[in-house]
Chains A and B, each alone.
Chain A
Amino acid sequence: MLNVTEKQGWLKFLVIISVALLVNLAQNAAAMTDEDCLDCHTDPDLTVEVDGKTVQLTLDGDKFAGSVHADNGCVSCHEEADVEEAPHPYPMARVDCANCHDDIAEIFADSLHGQALENNDPYAPKCIDCHGKHDILSMQDKDSPTYVMNVPFTCGRCHQEGSPMTLTHDIGKHNILKNFSMSIHGEGLFRKGLTVTAVCSSCHTAHNVLPHTDPNSTISRLNVVKTCMKCHANIEDAHTKIVRGELWETEPHKVPACVECHGPHQARRVLYEDSLNDQFCLKCHGNPDLKKILANGEERILYVNVDDFEHSIHQEKRIACAKCHVNVDHQKNPVCQDSGPVDCSICHAQVVDLYDKSTHGMLVAKNDKNAPVCTECHGTHGVMSKSNFESPIFARNIPDLCGRCHREGEKAALRYTGKQHDIVKHYQMSIHGRGLSQSGLMVSATCTNCHTAHSMLPASNPESSVNRENIITACAQCHLGIAEKFSSSIHSPQVSKTDKKLPVCNDCHTSHTISRHDTAGFRGLILDECGTCHEHETDTYFETYHGKASMLSGGEKTAKCSDCHGAHDILPAYYSESRLNRRHVVETCKKCHPGSNRKFTGYLTHATHHDRDKYPYLFYTFWGMTGLLVGTFAFFGIHTLFWVPRSFRERFKKRREHSRQSILKKDE
């Protein structure tokens, strides 16, 4: 009930009304002016009792004058107050912003807030809760509750942890305001004063706030990317290493949404808190008995050992279950039902690209049952960094890892038809294998250093890292100095322009049995290796002292091809840099023969006495000696041959004489 207490009030009222009347007359129609309204509504004593509560009906005229609605006039909102004479009827209907802002009101009505309002949620916000009443300011105005700097506080009035609204409503996210203020967005806003940074309404919109489970929500899994990209327009370029650009648009369900890595209210540059709750997954998958019967009757254990995951690289990087198991559908129960296998390319796109082109990847494409997939080598939930000693892909563990299939008798070795056998055993006895496993030298090459980790291809494939064309590059990863030397040797295609097959590293050093060059085994092997192309030189070498002695035990010490010709810097003698060039040959021989001199180097290390044109002296000496030998044996051979029968005859005669004599003696 209107309770006007002061008579003076009436007087004032009358004055105002008369003034208003005058103005109204002058203005042709308007019955009530803002001044008319403010006449009463600036009086601090203007109150009404509503349900026993005193409600003040006064407002700050200056603030109203500064508001966005100042020019519209009170009656444009409070239509019922547009009366000829005060007072206006009371009570009046609630101001309906939709009268003017019908488009926004429509959106708002479907929003979470609008729905709550309709459901008479006592905490449902109305327009005025955010925008104010008579003091509504433009969102550009720094004093406006909708000014970007003030938005978190405006929203926080309800969404602050501990507020009545948060206590009575089940909201998935907690500590929203606190987290936001510590996030990169909050930091930008509060500490750096950046007005372009995202606030609540930037992501959730101002009026169309919807839960993320609503497909129409700006923060739903399908839309959140678009939302983020309003500001982070070129983010795809920054994420090419993680996310294949096209997937983002064509198959968004396969790609983690922004918020899956960058926690919605906690986005930081590096620290990405879990967005989906792992505990939720482990409620079921933490049970060791959890199984699934497949269509073919097989049982699949669905238990996830948390301990494994705890030590995994994904845990270290805060990768939540849902970030790999992306096909989670909230409509299903359980949500992960038929989510299918994990596609590692979601994050490891480049690596999977390489893998797809490898022998392993191609086998997978053919549905070969032996084909190793990512998890075969990397494990599943316990996936570890290659720097972790326990990891199967830690350098020292790689021979065993690859050996699981490539060891003799295992599935990969069984289908292999090439010449390399017992590769794991041979590798382990090689300089690389012993360096790695016995000396603990972590720079030692292991399988993946030569074959690569994900692009392994048979050596016959031109793309293979161990193909003849590429093997030098592969070895040069570690043996760069040698490779550089080799590139200026006669065996290098840069020096020898020839169609003939030039040797590459593994022709001499082998692939898996690589040993130190000074071991007896390797020194013996040199001769065979060089001999495969330089047959004549090897044959004649074996006719000289070096070659003959090298065939006997301890023979590894005598000069081998590389001792004179060099190994990687090998050049024909006519090159001035050659070890056999006139300038260097005395020095070369001196390595073993300290007394080496110019004439000494004239020794023919590949001499043969079978070549009359090249080595006439040797040829005639040999045949002279052979003549002497044949002559001597011919003479004495004949001598003996005739002597033998004569001797027997003489003995026979003698025996006969002897027996005759004894007969005669007896007769006597």
Chain B
Amino acid sequence: MDNPQVEYVQRFSIFPRFLHFLVIVSFLTLAVTGMALKFASERWAEFVADFFGSFEVLGALHRLMAIVTFTYFALTFVLMYQNWRKSGKSIVQFILYKDSMIPNLNDAKELIQTFKWFFGLGPQPQYGRWTYWEKFDFMAVFWGVAVIGTTGLCLWFPETFTIFIPGYWINIATIIHSDEALLASGFIFTIHFFNTHLRPEKFPMDPVIFTGTMPLEELRHERPREYAELVAAGKLDEIKVPPTPRWFFVVSHVFGFTALAIGLTLVVSIIYSMVFLYVK
């Protein structure tokens, strides 16, 4: 980046980057405010509640961010629609083709190849535009928002929901909401953070989701299949872009590191609490 000779390509347009920004802000807020309630007996939870004022503020923020979540959930469909129209494929082709967001047989192959590579039994797979773990992250958000979202609405409007469902379902909704959230936070703050940012190749963070651009070299190495396909289609020059302005690069890092720090702190707190809460 500092080197002006490095060539950059565009990976994410502004829209998905904006969506991811919404995800970061809402997810972190939801996780912090929600976990403070889940682990209410812990000192750090008390600290969080004191910091925001009271559990009611936590609740208000949680509900506000729920609205943001439903918003980005809906906007993702808009993004998908736009991508579908741009691709010129039929809806079935769009869903089933190799670089669709939906996991497919190729992802299974790459997963197996990856494990072989872990053990030195073969080369690293020729990853395309989306690796299987990236697809899992994406699908996990879908799964998560669907499950946490519906149970969350039950908890938000229990009086309305109990017109249709028995009261004890609210208890069930609580368990699902809370444990699914634990899974989601735990996953994002450990697996997603590692896969995307903390593994040695990317350490300490990969700013592409903020800047939208990545070095051409990185594309060639990390996603050789996509690179090859772009070269073959002669589209590589189309996605070449000038480097991100330095100020934006800095802002991205500051924001990114903040999010990372919050997420990691929270996950450490959760793990600590889980260990001591259940050991107790």
Please tell me if the beta carbons of B200 and A553 are within 8 angstroms of each other in the complex. no
* A residues in contact with B168, CB < 8 Å: 602-604, 607, 615, 617-618
Question: Contact between A552 and B49 (Cβ–Cβ < 8 Å)?
Answer: yes
A-B contact pairs, 26 of them (CB 8 A): A544-B174, A545-B37, A548-B38, A548-B41, A552-B49, A600-B159, A600-B162, A603-B168, A604-B168, A607-B168, A607-B171, A615-B168, A618-B175, A621-B175, A621-B176, A625-B179, A626-B179, A628-B180, A629-B182, A629-B183, A633-B190, A640-B191, A642-B118, A642-B119, A643-B195, A644-B199
Q: Binary interface profile of A, 588-620, with partner B (CB < 8 Å = 1, else 0)?
A: 000001111101111110010100000101100
The reply on B99 being an interface residue by CB < 8 A is no
**10 more A-B residue pairs beyond the given contacts A629-B179, A650-B124, A650-B201, with a C-beta to C-beta distance below 8 A:** A547-B40, A549-B40, A552-B54, A555-B54, A594-B159, A604-B171, A607-B171, A618-B168, A646-B117, A647-B201
Query: Is B186 positioned at the interface, with any CB of A under 8 Å from its CB?
Result: yes
Q: Does A660 belong to the interface (CB within 8 Å)?
A: no
> Is B65 engaged at the interface, CB distance under 8 Å to the other chain?
no
The total of Cβ contacts below 8 Å across the A-B interface reads: 148
Most A-side CB within 10 Å, residue of B171, B195, B201: B171
Separation of A642 and B195 alpha carbons in the complex (Å): 12
- A551 interfacial contact with B, CB 8 Å: yes
Measured between alpha carbons, how far is A639 from B183 in the docked complex, in Å?
A: 17
Docked Cα-Cα span, A190 to B118, in Å, equals: 130
Contacts of B160 in A (CB 8 A): 595
User: Chain B contact residues: over half helix, strand or loop, or mixed?
Assistant: helix
User: Is B66 in contact with chain A by the CB < 8 A criterion?
Assistant: no
**Measured CA separation A555–B163 after assembly (Å):** 28
Among B54, B159, B179, B180, the residue within 8 A (CB) of A597 is B159
Binding site for B on A (CB under 8 A): 542, 544-545, 547-549, 551-555, 557-558, 593-597, 599-604, 607, 609, 615, 617-618, 621-622, 625-626, 628-629, 632-633, 636-637, 639-640, 642-644, 646-648, 650-651
B269–chain A nearest beta-carbon distance, Å: 15
B171 engages A553 (CB within 8 Å):
no
Query: What's the minimum C-beta distance from B133 to chain A, rounded to whole angstroms?
Result: 8
Instruction: Check A633 against B175 for contact (C-beta < 8 Å).
Output: no
Contact A552 B40 (CB under 8 A): yes
Asked if A603 meets B158 with Cβ closer than 8 Å, knowing A554-B55, A640-B195, the reply is yes
- Contact: A628 with B199, CB < 8 Å? no
- In the bound complex, what is the Cα–Cα distance between A648 and B201 (angstroms)? 8
When C-beta atoms are compared, the residue in chain B nearest to A549 turns out to be B55
What is the CA–CA distance of A618 and B179 in the complex, to the nearest angstrom? Answer: 12
User: Bound state CA distance, A600 and B56, in angstroms?
Assistant: 22
Taking CB atoms and an 8 Å cut-off, the chain B residues in 137-175 that contact chain A are 155, 158-160, 162-163, 165-168, 170-172, 174-175
- Roughly how many angstroms separate A553 CA and B46 CA in the complex, as a whole number? 7
Is B21 close to A, CB under 8 A?
no
B257: CB under 8 A from chain A? no
Closest to B186 in A: A633
Instruction: Choose among A548, A552, A602, A629 the residue with the greatest number of B CB atoms under 10 Å from its CB.
Output: A552
For B45, B53, B55, which residue has the most chain A Cβ atoms within 10 angstroms?
A: B55
Residues of chain B in range 29-56 having any CB-CB distance to chain A below 8 Å: 36-38, 40-41, 45-46, 49-50, 53-56
Is B84's beta carbon under 8 Å from chain A?
no
By beta carbon, the residue of chain A nearest B191 is A636
A632–B179 alpha-carbon span in the complex (Å): 13
From known contacts A552-B46, A626-B179, infer whether A599 and B200 are also in contact, taking CB-CB under 8 Å.
Answer: no
**B41, A643: Cβ atoms closer than 8 Å:** no
Question: Could you say which residues of chain A place their CB within 8 Å of the CB of B172?
Answer: 617-618, 621
A593 touches B159 (CB 8 A): yes
Chain B residues closer than 8 Å to A628, beta-carbon distance: 179-180, 183
Contact of B15 with A by CB under 8 A: no
Instruction: Verify A648–B200 contact, CB threshold 8 A.
Output: yes
